[in-house]
Amino acid sequence: MIYTLKRLGLAILVALAVSMLSFTLLHLSGDPASAIAGESATDADIAAIRAFYGFDRPLIVQYADWLFSALRGDFGESYYFQLPVAQLIGDRLSITMTLGICGITFAILTAVPLGVAAAVRPNSMIDRVALFISVMGQAMPSFWFGLVLVVIFSIKFRLLPPSGTDGWQNFVMPTVVLGYYAMPAIMRLTRAGMLDVLSADYVRTARAKGASEMRVMFKHALRNAIIPVVSLSAVQMGFMLGGSIVVESIFALHGAGYLAWESIGRNDLPTVQALILIFALFYIVFTFLSDLLNAWLDPRMRVG
Amino acid sequence: MDNILSVRDLRVDIPLAGGTLHAVRGLNFDLARGETLCIVGESGSGKSLTSLAIMGLLPKMAQRRADKLEFSGIDLSSAKNRQMRSLRGDRISMIFQEPMTSLNPAYTIGDQLTEALLLHRKVGRKAAEARAIELLEKVGITAAASRLEQYPHQLSGGLRQRVMIAMALMAEPDLIIADEPTTALDVTIQAQILRLLVDLQREMNMAMILITHDLGVVARVADKVAIMYAGEVIESGSSKDVFTAPQHPYTRGLLRCIPVPGKTKPGEHLGSIPGIVPSLIGKTQGCAFRGRCDVAIDACAHDIPERASVEGHLYRCVHDNSQTQFSASGEINTTSQSEGRL
Amino acid sequence: MAKTIETVEAALSGPTPGQVLRGRIFGHRGLMFGGVVLAAICIVALLAPVLAPHDPYSQNLLARMQPPVWFDKGTWDHPLGTDHLGRDYLSRLIYGARISLLIGGVAALISGLIGTLMGVAAGYFGGKVDTVVTFIINVRLAMPVVLVALAVVAVFGGSLQVVILVLGLLLWDRFAVVMRSSTQQLRSMEYVNAARAIGCSTSRIVFSEIMPNIVNSLIVVVTLEMAHAILLEAALSFLGLGVQPPTPSWGLMVAEGKKMLLFEPWLIAIPGVALFVLVLVINLLGDGLRDVSAPENRN
């Protein structure tokens, strides 16, 4: 319990530090007021905007102001849309979350069976195929992989829409691209874990009890090998949501990542600021969850 | 007496990059219900592989061959995986060397104890748990019912080995193989665990193969003894015969390594056997012990006859040693102490 | 007994450690392939002005989007064709290797310096230093790299220097994590205790006892992060917020080719494959080095 509280406190501190850091970085960019006002604005216009948004105050005051509003769920107003950022992001977040969940599911469903199969027969054909797939996945730029899929499935075979957010078909290719990004690490860890566990004494004990190979593999071995895989997957999920910006922009999937990309181009500071914090929070929450999951899965981690 | 296990010319080969490792080379023995056979040998002499070969649990790359490998009328050497599985944990059980790592950390003691019974018998969870509690009490574990909910990491090494023993006995096997069950434990606990094992074996009238390198243990519990050296049984017989009249120079050497209360004087060197075990890769001919043997002659490099001193007491040596008398003080030879540190 | 001694000596006097290491390096196919191809790419990048058939920046609007030589209309004048501005694709590809290697190399160097310093300090001193460094690592891991890099590059402008600096300042986390745990392991070793016991200074212990023993894992992380930086630069440039046109960055080439995706897919295929091969060989080299330096950790 104390451990959990400590972790929680640390997570909050990390979130604070991230927000402070990104706030400072973004506000170093010179004068946001002139960026908002546009090129034809007069000095008086700029001064008025500066006063309106409070850019003339010290940075630390601006940060504190932003932080306390943010804690109430108020992330300010988008310069571009003239809408509350919270409202803007809310709509987009569900798309990114859907994509993230589909992506990690795809990654786990391909990586774990492949990793197990590779570990059961090391140096076999299937092991080589698994290794090949993971090496490819690590070297392939995801934006390029996305385009290749578009060429094949949208242009050549006309099976899937190349872009948009209209139906489930729009999520197929982004899911594959995002999932393939997380897959190699999960597969390698599954394989290494299974190899380790399969040579463990307790697996031999299970065999000595007359358990079938399937039972040995899934009940005794995988149950132990999967523990680190689960926590890795949770962490990867956090990374993936942050990386969805590339995937969403390729497929014009109008999620939070796409919004972030557009907002950076539009110099829409409040939106970018809020999105960085939200993606950081995703990562923090998922690492926190992974710790809890770990404790739940591994009896040795449970205290008491 | 009917033999429950009968082994003839058991061989285990392991193909390696540098040639084939002949790890077990032609083992013979018989074991009847209620009997204890102790297999004694140094590390690498093939005793653990022998037990795994009987269980059918050898590593994948190892190859097993035998003229006869029969367990209560079933030919194990031709048994299918499915049949072996139905024997393991039910009629043949095994206790391993490492209690710390032989239990699955992810499951409770109760889960692991009841598994074999649930796999092999048509019993319900309740009945299996009752049996588990009964056995935990039998192996001397207090508060047995509450232990079922515990995880292995919550138990000490001694307790875990008791659990392992209880686990092996769940289905009342006919044969139990214990591979150095006490080596990983504290010296004070070793004796308790061994006593327990032997008592239970007698009580349940099981056959037991006890693998060990501790001759003191053997003297106390064995009915039969097989001394293994470099993959071969170099001497075997009833415990009494082997201990009172050891025939092979290696056995004699081993016995000299044990301090005898009252006879070994304080400060006196115990015996030691100089040299190292030869490599078993490739073809081996003659006596594997000849490089370390004090009475080796040229003939030792050729085939060695198997001799019998008395009925059932066999040994492999060029010399007919039954004429030379053995003495525990080691007058045959103790000159090569220094070479022992090679 | 002399015979026994001979056999023991014969068994012990195998190949020397150097021979063993050389044997492992040359016997490792991935490592050899990765090393040779990476060396080749480096040579091509170095000799770009000599090897490139054309100026990578010179436009020829009359010869736009000529296909590579293996298509019907391709010519040997432009072996890989020309882009939408009529620039020679092969020359841009060759100069692009310079950009990728430069960014990967320098970013890995910067992040390696920062991360190693932090990791070794945390691992060696422990206590408060460790707490602080671990916290900084956590903060860094929580920052969404792509998003932050994009935002910062957008603020400071997409010059080569800014991109390198941003990546260098962002990608040190793995160095810190790996170096921290390696140093922690080493610190409790007997020989480090011994050095401390005879009164060696901290800097002496770190440089002569710790560093030589973590350099293997350091090299492996360098390759990983170099590949990571190259991929990230390409992604940033692809999103239009990395290196700016007309610089011949491979990521930018893919982005420019994207507009012609429908008709000229080779425009994205060529720089994409180049990126893939470069990252692949760096990863193979890294994996190979890890196998060779610690064969017991293979699998």
pLDDT at C273: 92
Contacts of A129 by beta carbon, 8 Å cutoff, 6+ apart: A114
Digit-coded pLDDT (tens) for B64-88: 988 888 898 888 888 888 898 999 9
- Residue B142: inside a domain: yes
How many contacts (CB atoms, under 8 Å) link B and C? 14
**Among A240, A255, A251, which Cα is nearest to A160's?**
A251
What is the predicted pLDDT for the residue at C16? 63
Q: pLDDT tens, A68-83? A: 888 888 888 888 888 8
DSSP C242: S
B101-126 burial, b at 16+ Cβ within 10 Å, e below that, comes to bbbbbbbbbbbbbbbbbbbbeeeeee
The per-residue pLDDT for range A89-145, each reduced to its tens digit, is 888 899 999 999 999 999 999 999 999 999 988 888 999 999 999 988 888 998 899
The number of domains in chain B is 1
In a domain, A180, yes or no: yes
Per the domain annotation, does A291 fall within a domain? Answer: no
Average pLDDT for consecutive 10-residue bins of chain B (342 residues)? 85 84 87 91 84 88 88 87 89 88 92 92 91 90 90 89 90 91 80 86 91 83 89 87 85 78 69 72 78 80 80 82 53 35 32
B105 vs A: CB within 8 A = yes
The reply to whether residue A260 touches residue C150, judged by beta carbons under 8 angstroms, is yes
Residue B73 lies in a domain: no
C66 exposed, middle or buried (CB, 10 Å; 0-12, 13-18, 19+)?
buried
The tokens of B65 are what? 């061959």
- What is the rounded CA–CA span in Å between residue B32 and residue A106? 57
**Angle in degrees, 0-180, between the axes of helices C266-293 and C89-125, rounded to the nearest 10:** 30
Q: Is residue B152 part of a domain?
A: yes
Percent share of chain C, pLDDT over 70: 90
Q: For C145-201, what is each residue's pLDDT tens digit?
A: 888 888 888 888 778 889 999 999 999 999 999 999 888 888 888 888 888 888 888
DSSP assignment of B42-55, as one string?
-TTSSHHHHHHHHH
Res C262: pLDDT: 76
**Rg of chain B over all Cα atoms, to the nearest angstrom:** 21
CB A141 within 8 A of CB C268: no
In a domain? residue A152: yes
Q: Give how far B262 is from chain A: nearest CA, Å.
A: 41
User: Which domain CATH number covers A236?
Assistant: 1.10.3720.10
Q: How far apart are CA A96 and CA A106, in angstroms?
A: 15
Amino acid B193: pLDDT = 83
Q: What is the DSSP letter of B331?
A: -
Specify the residue for token string 């000596």. Answer: C9
In the predicted structure, residue C17 carries a pLDDT above the cut 70: no
Answer yes or no: is B303 within a domain: no
- Asked, for residue A304, whether it belongs to a domain, the answer is no
- Chain C nearest CA to B248, separation (Å): 21
**Domain annotation covers residue A217:** yes
User: For strand B314-316 and strand B306-308, is the pairing parallel, antiparallel, or unpaired?
Assistant: antiparallel
Single-letter code of the amino acid located at C163: V
Residue B139, token pair as written in the block: 């192996």
What is the per-residue pLDDT for C41? 92
Closest chain A residue to the Cα of B94, Cα to Cα? A208
Give C194→chain B minimum CA distance, Å.
29
Q: Is A60 exposed, middle or buried (0-12, 13-18, 19+ CB in 10 A)?
A: exposed
- pLDDT at residue C4 in the model: 46
List the 267-286 stretch of A: residues with Cβ below 8 A of C: 267, 272, 275-276, 279-280, 283-284
Per-residue pLDDT tens over the stretch A230-241: 888 888 888 888
CA gap B216, B29 in Å, rounded: 22
Does A214 map to a domain?
yes
A194 to chain C: closest CA residue? C299
Please calculate the CA angle B321-B323-B328 and round it to the nearest 5 degrees.
75
On whether residue B177 sits in a domain, the answer given is: no
Asked if C8 has any chain B CB less than 8 Å from its own CB, the reply is: yes
Domains in chain A, number: 1
Span C61-86, average pLDDT: 77
Within-domain flag for A222: yes
SS3 B91: coil
End-to-end CA distance of chain A: 10
- Is residue A145 included in any domain, yes or no? yes
Containing structural domain, residue B130: 100-170
pLDDT tens profile B156-188: 888 898 899 999 989 889 999 998 888 877 788
Task: Please check whether residue C156 touches A, CB under 8 A.
Answer: yes
- Kindly state whether B91 is in contact with chain A, defined as any CB-CB distance less than 8 angstroms: no
Q: What percent of chain C has pLDDT over 90?
A: 28
Q: How far is C280 from chain A (nearest CA, A)?
A: 5
Mean pLDDT for chain C overall:
83
Residue numbers of the domain that contains A245: 97-270
Q: Is the pLDDT of residue C8 over 50?
A: no
With an 8 Å Cβ cutoff, is C8 touching chain A? Answer: no
pLDDT band per the 50, 70, 90 thresholds, residue A24: confident
The verdict on residue B137 lying in a domain is yes
Q: Which member of A28, A279, A284 has the closest CB to residue C155?
A: A28
Q: Where are the beta strands (DSSP E) in B175-231?
A: 175-179, 207-212, 224-229
Q: How many CB atoms lie within 10 A of CB C259?
A: 12
The model's confidence at residue A85, banded by pLDDT at 50, 70 and 90, is confident
